[in-house]
């Protein structure tokens, strides 16, 4: 496994792969890798000749300085995991090289920007859009892999690729969960034992809502009951629980079985902000 700490080294490493027309699969990450990331790596390995993973904690997508400074960093074990998984190249760029100065560009994703994560984390998606554009420009993969856990991020990246005609296929990989249903996330590392137990609540709430909706209950009543479940957990503090269109992420007031809809949740457990989602009808 090659480790490329600069853009030039990455490009040199990939030159012959590009020249031989090898299929390059790319998994961008912020490190603190878990089975969710490794599922993306496995998918990339399955269908690519060369698999590239980047690790970069992108300051531009954090609207909260504390969230940025406490984001888990586990570089040594990340590299071990990637080596074991058979990754070909790991790109480890520095902040100085990627952002020699504060970018003057910002990206507005329209209605996607004003709902859910966009509402609670102003500027977040612009930061994601800028770093993903940069990484796709540098790596030039044929396919890039993203987790369904970040449903709105997937929609943002699909918009980016479509609107800028970037020559890459975006492949979405299903969420990987712990045995009690908690979606895998690097932020789970920051939960205390008690908070970790309480964190199951997110998936329980999503499942409760899904079962109720599929049984014909209306969304507004179901939502009220779900909010009540969350109020009973003293470690939990809700940001949003919504029924949304799976592709546009716009909020829905009614469950329409013939539309592709998903339930989305963002909730603090203690100091840790967690998000999750569940498709209601595929
Ligand atoms: O999903 C993530 O880990 C990040 O948002 C990404 C796509 C690597 C961009 O920094």
Tokens of 251: 């909020």
Residue 17 is among the residues annotated as catalytic for this protein: no
Asked if residue 170 lies in contact with residue 144, where contact means CB atoms within 8 angstroms, the answer is: yes
Residue nearest to atom 8 of ligand 1 (CA): 29
The pLDDT, as a whole number, for residue 200 is 98
Q: Which atom of ligand 1 is nearest to the CA of 135?
A: 9
The pLDDT, as a whole number, for residue 54 is 99
Instruction: Mention every residue, 6+ apart, whose C-beta is less than 8 A from residue 143.
Output: 23, 24, 25, 26, 44, 47, 48, 168, 169, 170, 171
- Does ligand 1 come within 6 angstroms of the Cβ of 107? no
Q: What sign results for the dihedral spanned by CA atoms 269, 32, 150, 202?
A: negative
Residues in the chain predicted with pLDDT less than 50, given as ranges, are: none
Q: What sign results for the dihedral spanned by CA atoms 49, 6, 75, 95?
A: negative
Instruction: Mention every residue, 6+ apart, whose C-beta is less than 8 A from residue 118.
Output: 109, 112, 124, 125, 152
pLDDT tens string 102-128: 999 999 999 999 999 999 999 999 999
The pLDDT, as a whole number, for residue 282 is 67
- Does ligand 1 come within 6 angstroms of the Cβ of 275? no
How far are the Cα atoms of 90, 218, 280 from residue 214, in angstroms, in the given order? 43, 10, 8
Q: Tell me which residue of 188, 195, 161, 185 sits closest to 277, measured CA to CA.
A: 185
Q: What is the rounded CA–CA span in Å between residue 84 and residue 171? A: 23
The pLDDT, as a whole number, for residue 100 is 98
The pLDDT, as a whole number, for residue 121 is 95
Q: Which atom of ligand 1 is nearest to the CA of 132?
A: 9
The pLDDT, as a whole number, for residue 81 is 98
Length of the chain: 282
The pLDDT, as a whole number, for residue 194 is 98
The pLDDT, as a whole number, for residue 279 is 98
Complete domains list, the chain, with CATH: 2-173 (3.40.50.620), 186-276 (3.30.1300.10)
- Does ligand 1 come within 6 angstroms of the Cβ of 128? yes
Pocket test for ligand 1, best of 26, 27, 29 (most atoms within 8 A of CB): 29
- Does ligand 1 come within 6 angstroms of the Cβ of 58? yes
- Does ligand 1 come within 6 angstroms of the Cβ of 131? yes
Contacts 24+ apart (CB under 8 A), 229-232: 229/201, 229/204, 229/205, 230/201, 230/205, 230/267
């Amino acid at each position: 496994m090659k480790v490329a700490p600069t853009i030039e080294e990455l490009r040199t490493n990939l030159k012959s792969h590009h020249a031989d027309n090898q299929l390059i699969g790319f998994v961008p990450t912020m490190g603190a890798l878990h089975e969710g990331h490794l599922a993306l790596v496995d998918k990339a390995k399955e269908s690519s000749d060369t698999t590239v993973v980047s690790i970069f904690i992108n300051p531009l997508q954090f609207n909260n300085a504390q969230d940025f400074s406490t984001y888990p960093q586990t570089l040594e074990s990340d590299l071990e995991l990637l080596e074991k998984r058979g990754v070909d190249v790991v790109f480890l760029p520095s902040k100085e090289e990627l952002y020699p100065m504060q970018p003057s560009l910002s990206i507005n994703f329209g209605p996607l920007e004003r709902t859910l994560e966009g509402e609670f984390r102003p500027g977040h998606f612009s930061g994601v859009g800028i770093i993903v554009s940069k990484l796709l420009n540098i790596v030039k993969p044929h396919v890039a892999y993203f987790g369904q856990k970040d449903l709105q991020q997937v929609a943002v990246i699909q918009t980016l690729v479509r609107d800028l005609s970037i020559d890459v296929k975006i492949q979405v990989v299903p969420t990987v969960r712990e045995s009690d249903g908690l979606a895998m996330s690097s932020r789970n590392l920051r939960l205390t034992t008690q908070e970790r137990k309480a964190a199951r609540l997110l998936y329980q709430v999503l499942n409760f809502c899904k079962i109720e909706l599929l049984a014909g209950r209306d969304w507004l009543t179901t939502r009220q009951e779900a909010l009540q479940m969350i109020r009973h957990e003293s470690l939990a503090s809700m940001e949003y629980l919504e029924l949304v269109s799976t592709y546009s992420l716009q909020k829905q007031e009614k469950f329409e079985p013939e539309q592709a809809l998903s339930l989305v949740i963002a909730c603090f457990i203690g100091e840790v902000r967690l998000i999750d989602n569940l498709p209601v009808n595929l």
